[in-house]
Structure 1
Amino acid sequence: MGLIILKKQVSKRRHLWWRWLVGIIVVIALALFAAGSYFFSVAMVPSHKSFINNSNRISRSDPLYTQKMWFKRAPKQQWTMKSAQGDYRLVADYLPASHQTTRNVIILHGFMGRKEKMGEYATMFHRMGYNVLMPDARAHGQSQGKYIGYGWPERYDVRKWSEKLIARNGQQSQIVIFGVSMGGATTMMTSGIPLPHQVKALVEDCGYDSLNAELNYEAGNLYNIPQVIRAPLIASLSLINRVKNGFYVHQASSTAMLAHNHRPMMFIHGSKDTFVPTRMVYQNYAATRGPKRLWIVKGAKHAASYAKEPHEYPQRIARFLNQYVK
């Protein structure tokens, strides 16, 4: 009789233990989902971000003041098209070259940026004799969209913009794709899909090697989240992103797409970049299969290489591109 009672007590304790265990797992899962939902809104939903400087002010002390002011005053055409999936209206500014040319460039902005923030780069390429097309990425600026894609869905939008350029400027068009930060990652991701033969070369400045690595890094850099928590947190965010935004975080890899690229590409990165760490550029550079060049700009912070070297920056890009765009 005592043995039976003992067995019942043990069974009851096991049952209680399993209930506690299941309860703890449910609580952890709910906590991860809540945290994943919060960071999804921070990372994927367009809104004001405290860690991004999107001021419109142009200071006279800015080393690129002249370039920015020229762009601000330059007459622009507005182009529109549907996104590659046909769900959003996308908007771009177009600045034709001052003379007839086959040279064209598509300039891609960064996270929570917009086409107007790329004015100094537009001026640079315009001075090189290029027609300049500057799209607002989906969910940025004047373009429609619910969520930020970090270059993954946008790569097909970029291809569609290139086809629009060719339709407008002719089959003899030569196209360069250029991007900074998220725009640099978009450039690299675009390089790995089939593109019109008119796309001759690409230039990326401070793009990340993968979205997963960048989110992991920023979770520690901006929020001091311990490494042991980051993996399940990003997994939760990734699942939410798959449902709402159409892809898992680990899919958005610049490095993986560069492995399919055989076009010439130039890589630029500041040596003092703490937003997209400088180490990421080496993996990207190693991955691409075409002619390539790497320039680490000494002392430059994130997306500040042009401002750090306002004379050398356009010279180096021009020397690289002139080998492939005639």
Structure 2
Amino acid sequence: MPSHCGCSTGWKERKRALPPWQPGILPAIEPGATPGVQSERRGKHRIYFLRRTVRDWYSDILPRIDRALSRRMPIRRSRTNKSLTPHSMERCGSREKPCFQRVPLLMTVIGACVCLALFCSCAMAPIWFSHDSIPPKLPAAVSFNKGAGRGDPLYLTLRLESGEELLFMVDTGAAFTLLDKSLEPGLGKRYGTARIKWLGGKSTAVVYRAPKLYLGDTQLLTGARILTDDLRMIPLAGQPLQGILGTDCLRHYCIQLDFAARKIRFLDPDLPKSEDLGRAFPLSIFFSTVSAHENLVGVKGAKSDIDTGCNFDGTLSSGLFQQELRQQNLVLTNGMARLAESFWAGETYTNLNVVEYGGRRFHNLVGLRFLARHLVTFNFPKRTMYLQRQSVGPLANEPGSTNTLGSTSGWWETEGLPPSGNDKESLAARLVSAPNLRPGKPDAFSKVFSWDPPRFISVGPPSAKLRVVQMPYGDYRMKVASKVIPVADGEGKLWFEGLPENNRSPAAPVRNRGTLLLLHDYNYQKEHMVPWAWVLAQAGYNIILPDLRGHGDSSGETISYGKYETADLRQLLDYLTQQRACAEKVGVLGVGYGASLALHWAARDPRVGTVVAIAPYNQPEQAFARMARQNEASLSSEVLKEASALAAARLDIKWTDWSGETAMRHLKEPVLLIGGGKDAICSTNDLNALEQAAPAGSKRLLIPEADHKVIGYWFNEIEEPVKAWFREHMPAPTDGQLKKQKTASQ
């Protein structure tokens, strides 16, 4: 999964002439200026301005005292002797005194300054939490995303005063709350700019007055200013992230993260009993950097920043990281090491994913994947973190996860059905019924987008709503890798995963090459296309991931293998173009059922510029029979044939009109066909027939070792040909088109 380690801001304070006895007055931020750590809260700035007053007084008054004393009798030293010479004697009345007797006066002044500075930093330190004397209203407990602590960051949905809902990441590593730059038109006056330090580099943010943010019906207490930046730079797969909730807000609350219940609770900081919360760890907070005096390898004296924006276990400084590599004989995978055993505060933990922090600054960091092994309570007003350990190892992805690629029972499964369930009428009804109406089988892909505020597009007839997720182009620092692992029977098993490239230097800016829609296979859903979304978004394409009718989160009780679906996709494209979310021409990549739908859609909609069809079937009736055989269904071929005819009658279609060859004959643009040599559903004969009917310029790519389930994820051999095909057949939008889309989005 993607990796992001939060952001921290680096500020340079502008010098301003202020009256020394007006410590609570906040100077206005001038347009174009780089603001300091500013807030309209009195407490925080009383410290800063008192310190500055002491500094200015010390630098101004002491030299005057020194000059006044020096005018009476300057101190001189002998060139040959370091002791004071007679010229260093100062006459006072009839007696002579050494001039160094003025030192007690200087020491008195210096001592007073030091005491005042200590008073500011110690006695008044709690005032850093502005308005802590007036506790903010506490929001009710809310749920967060299922993937939090399991590879995903922690997401909450906040609301603006206008009612617009925004997806925020909760990030204790971010000093200030940020919004995506797309929201700037509604933020009012621009106050200036600020430099932001990210783990992978720096950027320039814009400063605005903070809007009101609500969690549920409760307004959150935030700072007076908010920053905006392009949040697409954050390497998170497909997340339409619109905000980062930083410590300028979180510091006012006592927050409990319950990963078992998926709840975030806001507690009274004076009420919780420490024995109920777990082991206490004092927190140090300096300019909104939250740290604890522990680390992931148990080395004494090495503290760590606490960063919930980091979605893996954490980072180690170069010295500690290299030490662990040698001691545990570790192997790096894209810069990440897996520690079989590690230690935190004397307790043992297993299977930690850590990376080396290569910056100049000594830096250890604790991320969300490690914190999620505990019931976590951040009592920021009391500067204490409580950890109640609930797991030695990382949290499982989902209970009952099988890491397989099917999410619902297929139409061919008759177990649990009454005896009449194998007759042609019952089978015909199952053939055209929506897969998401059947019992679910959660897998490693389900709930990838559980964080996403649902967005549905109405289509029909028949009426349905399609769940759609948009993933903007950009460098997500994610590499998708696949390889074949030999197994006992000699066949081999495909293994693939997304690997975060945390230590890779930032690549050149990705150019916008247009929009691609990714269509999933039958009985799957949009989440299964996430690996392709990573690959193609990093190649410069805006990605649209819909759940097809009757699949995933989309509604619709009936599917038609093309008749309803092609109309749905045309309406979806109408909506996207009306919203100017894409150019007039789009490309489509589909797998299996989605590939066949893509071909029929392109044959009926000239706005589809090109198609990459991975494992498309030719004749739907033949595909039904092959699915039944592959899944060893107890269905006779005669009953299946009659049921297919009844299903066509119900849909008022002819299967021959929805064959792959029929679609190919109506296409005007070339397509790329990809198939597997061991695919029992889209056979090599199907691929040959489709190639012969395809328009001129079409190409075919065959992977001999791949079957139907894995051909769509055979990235080591098909990734580059797919990207090259889209580069050749999908012309990038012009600057005028991009400007038009940008203007419309604002």
TM above 0.5 = yes
Shift of 1:134: 0.9
Matches within 5 A, 1:69-80: 72=448, 78-80=454-456
2:680 pairs with 1:253: no
Equivalent-residue separation in structure 2 for 1:78 and 1:265 (angstroms): 32
2:649 pairs with 1:242: yes
Equivalent-residue separation in structure 1 for 2:427 and 2:670 (angstroms): 36
Do the aligned partners of 1:107 and 1:177 also contact (CA within 8 Å) in 2?
Answer: yes
Do the aligned partners of 2:460 and 2:567 also contact (CA within 8 Å) in 1?
Answer: yes
Do the aligned partners of 1:270 and 1:303 also contact (CA within 8 Å) in 2?
Answer: no
Q: Which amino acid aligns with 2:620?
A: L
2:468 corresponds to which residue? Answer: 92
SS of the residue corresponding to residue 296 of structure 1 reads strand
Do the aligned partners of 1:180 and 1:303 also contact (CA within 8 Å) in 2?
Answer: no
Do the aligned partners of 1:108 and 1:183 also contact (CA within 8 Å) in 2?
Answer: yes
Shift of 1:236: 4.1
Equivalent-residue separation in structure 1 for 2:615 and 2:442 (angstroms): 20
1:267 corresponds to which residue? Answer: 673
Shift of 1:305: 2.4
2:545 pairs with 1:134: yes
2:592 pairs with 1:205: no
SS of the residue corresponding to residue 311 of structure 1 reads helix
1:56 corresponds to which residue? Answer: 443
Do the aligned partners of 1:191 and 1:258 also contact (CA within 8 Å) in 2?
Answer: no
Equivalent-residue separation in structure 2 for 1:53 and 1:270 (angstroms): 28
TM-score normalized by the length of structure 2? 0.34
Q: 1:180 aligns with which of 580, 583, 591?
A: 591
1:44 corresponds to which residue? Answer: 432
Do the aligned partners of 1:102 and 1:174 also contact (CA within 8 Å) in 2?
Answer: no
2:207 corresponds to which residue? Answer: none
Do the aligned partners of 1:106 and 1:175 also contact (CA within 8 Å) in 2?
Answer: yes
Do the aligned partners of 1:270 and 1:298 also contact (CA within 8 Å) in 2?
Answer: yes
Amino-acid identity (%): 17
* Bigger share in strand: 2
Q: Which amino acid aligns with 2:469?
A: D
1:208-250 CA-partner distances (Å, limit 9, x unpaired):
10212212334555347665x26xx42444234433x443444
Equivalent-residue separation in structure 2 for 1:49 and 1:302 (angstroms): 24
Equivalent-residue separation in structure 2 for 1:74 and 1:90 (angstroms): 16
Equivalent-residue separation in structure 2 for 1:307 and 1:223 (angstroms): 26
Q: Which has the larger radius of gyration?
A: 2
Equivalent-residue separation in structure 2 for 1:205 and 1:53 (angstroms): 25
Matches within 5 A, 1:100-179: 101-169=512-580, 172-179=583-590
Equivalent-residue separation in structure 2 for 1:250 and 1:135 (angstroms): 26
Q: Rate the CA distance shift 1:295–1:100 in 2: closer, same or farther, 3 A.
A: closer
Shift of 1:142: 1.3
Q: Which amino acid aligns with 2:688?
A: Y
Q: Rate the CA distance shift 1:286–1:84 in 2: closer, same or farther, 3 A.
A: farther
Taking CA–CA contacts closer than 8 Å with sequence separation of 6 or more, which of the two structures ends up with the larger relative contact order? 1
1:82 corresponds to which residue? Answer: 458
Q: Rate the CA distance shift 1:275–1:123 in 2: closer, same or farther, 3 A.
A: same
Do the aligned partners of 1:104 and 1:173 also contact (CA within 8 Å) in 2?
Answer: no
Do the aligned partners of 1:205 and 1:268 also contact (CA within 8 Å) in 2?
Answer: yes
Do the aligned partners of 1:33 and 1:236 also contact (CA within 8 Å) in 2?
Answer: no
SS of the residue corresponding to residue 269 of structure 1 reads strand
Shift of 1:276: 3.0
2:731 pairs with 1:320: no
SS of the residue corresponding to residue 276 of structure 1 reads coil
Q: Rate the CA distance shift 1:33–1:303 in 2: closer, same or farther, 3 A.
A: closer
Q: Which amino acid aligns with 1:238?
A: A
5+ residue gaps in structure 1? 1-31, 59-67
5+ residue gaps in structure 2? 1-419, 475-509, 732-746
1:305 corresponds to which residue? Answer: 711
Equivalent-residue separation in structure 1 for 2:423 and 2:543 (angstroms): 41
Q: Which amino acid aligns with 2:645?
A: S
Do the aligned partners of 1:152 and 1:189 also contact (CA within 8 Å) in 2?
Answer: no
Shift of 1:37: 1.6
Shift of 1:114: 1.0
Shift of 1:171: 7.3
Do the aligned partners of 2:435 and 2:551 also contact (CA within 8 Å) in 1?
Answer: no
SS of the residue corresponding to residue 94 of structure 1 reads strand
2:692 corresponds to which residue? Answer: 286
Equivalent-residue separation in structure 1 for 2:573 and 2:549 (angstroms): 16
Shift of 1:155: 1.3
1:61 corresponds to which residue? Answer: none
Q: Which amino acid aligns with 2:730?
A: V
Equivalent-residue separation in structure 2 for 1:314 and 1:74 (angstroms): 27
Equivalent-residue separation in structure 1 for 2:683 and 2:620 (angstroms): 13
Q: Rate the CA distance shift 1:145–1:86 in 2: closer, same or farther, 3 A.
A: closer
Shift of 1:290: 4.1
Shift of 1:119: 1.0
